[in-house]
Amino acid sequence: MTNTSTPAVFAEPVRKVPGRWIAAFAVAWLGAWMAQLAPIQKLLPDQVQTELHTTSWVDNVVAFGVISGISGVCAIVAYPLTGALSDRTTSRFGRRRPWIAAGAVVFAVSLVLLGLQTSIVGMGVFWSLALTGFCILTAALTATISDQVPVDQRGYVSGWISAPQAIGIILGVALVTYVFVGAFVGYTAMAVLLLILVLPFLLLPDAVLPTELRERMSVRGVIEGLWISPRAHPDFGWTLLSRVLVNFGNAFGTSLLLYFLEFGLRDPNADDDLLVLILIYMVFVIVASLALGRLSDRLGRRKAFVFASSAVQGVAALLLAFVPDLSVAFVAAALLGVGYGCFLSVDQALATQVLPDPETRGKDLGIMNIALAVPQAVAPLFGAMIVAALGGFAGLFVLSALFAFAGAFAVARVKAVR
């Protein structure tokens, strides 16, 4: 039953979402991940390399990293700001749906325009706009978990964020490599698919916030709301820190795998073997995120899963650091997939259970989402600098392991969630 002192729109949901809701949610995330990851993995690096006319992988990665890093700054602003705005939205279409629609449109239009760019500056501008649209879209999508999904279903539902990510990277890269060839055609295809796949979720109901319950908004209030005191809300602080650390660890371990194969292992079949590594990684991400997310729901436990998944990623990174061999890399890819898949689903469920205020779920989850987007954005640049400075990849993978282990210890400090 809903607590009579809490307005229904802010109350913890108790009714499980049906299969059609989960299916629409998963399909929307598939569209978002394809539109983000196909550019990161294929379209944007190729665009940068074509413009630079250099075969130096360090130069290419640094240029790509600068573009990605600038877009990461946009994510820092867009995620919590969108969350705060959606928390206060009184549209008759609901609080989250208008922002999901707006984010998808901004994302799609920016991708199409990105495909027309022939300068590094133009690529940086429109990729930053595209990632801003991605943040607007996914901030609102993530908030629907806290709005509509009961606690004992959140691990499984959160798995349908990470499983589409795994499918999206393979499907997106395959489409822009073999079907929609060329920068403009590839970006446009991803934009169109994004809009088509997000549409079903927009047709589902969304709770409307009565005007009289809307909190007044000011620039100062929004800025002040971005700070959540770790003293007042230590569980939120430890969860956020764990997210930052583990996502940096994963990004350091995965963002330069092609260059590790080419220049670290001197693999003559680096492109083909990278595809095998990605397939192994993604299969284990999908299985782990769905199976272990559901298991965490049944057991009513989150911390143990997050701790173990973080530690497993650390072990995988150490294997890459100290046993640089292709067969070992395949084993490491499986361990990384198990660890990160479990982490993505269970940690998302954990995050929804440590939010300070039900009235600011969107903003608070937006802050949490920064810890996912920013490491992915800046890791290629930092990773290339680390490899260049240390003269090899071993140091990068050791750093990846240290971040993952530190994230495991950080989540162990959470008290309110088992």
DSSP 360: G
The terminus-to-terminus CA distance of the chain in angstroms comes to 23
Q: Residue 153: which of 12, 362, 303 has the closest Cα?
A: 12
**Where would I find the beta strands (DSSP E) of 39-91?**
none
The residues, ordered by sequence, that sit 6+ positions from 272 with a Cβ below 8 Å of its Cβ are: none
Q: What is the rounded distance in angstroms from the CA atom of residue 231 to the CA atom of residue 108?
A: 40
Q: For 409, list phi and psi in degrees, rounded to 5.
A: -70, -30
- For residue 309, give every residue at least 6 positions away whose Cβ sits within 8 Å of its Cβ, in sequence order, or none: 288, 292, 338, 339, 340, 341, 342, 343, 346, 347
pLDDT tens string 129-188: 999 999 999 999 999 998 999 989 999 999 999 899 889 988 998 899 889 888 999 999
CA 154 to CA 165: how far, in whole Å? 17
Sign of the CA dihedral running 173, 178, 181, 186: negative
358-405: per-residue pLDDT in tens? 878 888 888 888 888 788 878 877 888 888 788 788 999 999 999 999
Per residue, what are the HEC states of 88-149? Answer: CCCCCCCCCHHHHHHHHHHHHHHHHHHCCCCCHHHHHHHHHHHHHHHHHHHHHHHHHHHHHC
List, for residues 33-89, the tens digit of each pLDDT value. Answer: 999 989 988 898 888 888 887 767 777 777 877 888 888 888 888 888 888 888 888
Q: Kindly report, residue by residue over 276-329, the tens digit of the pLDDT.
A: 888 899 899 999 999 999 999 999 899 999 999 999 999 999 999 999 999 999
- pLDDT, residue 254, reads 86
Distance, CA of 368 to CA of 410 (rounded, Å): 15
Q: Are 237 and 416 in contact (CB under 8 A)?
A: no
